[in-house]
Amino acid sequence: MIDLNQQARDRLTAVSECELFIVPGASHLFEEPGKLEEVERQAARFFLNDL
């Protein structure tokens, strides 16, 4: 699955910045303790342009 996401990221041309962030130890639905919160932190960081 990660490989497919990397391929999709590499093909993006309509965005100026792109980051593929992998949350270590997270499953597909981020059900593990603290993993969804890490997704929230990374998304906020991205949308606030603080890459």
8 A C-beta contact, residue 18 and residue 12: yes
The b/e string for 1-39 (b: 16+ C-beta within 10 A; e otherwise) is eeeeeeeeeeeeeeeeeeeeeebeeeeeeeeeeebeebe
Eight-state DSSP code of residue 11 = H
Confidence of residue 1 (pLDDT cuts 50, 70, 90): confident
Q: Where along the chain do its domains lie?
A: 2-47
Give the pLDDT confidence of 6-38 residue by residue, as tens digits.
Answer: 999 889 887 677 788 999 999 989 999 999 999
Q: Does this model's pTM top 0.85? A: no
Residue type, 3: D
The residues, any chain, with a CB within 8 Å of residue 49's CB and separated by 6 or more, are: none
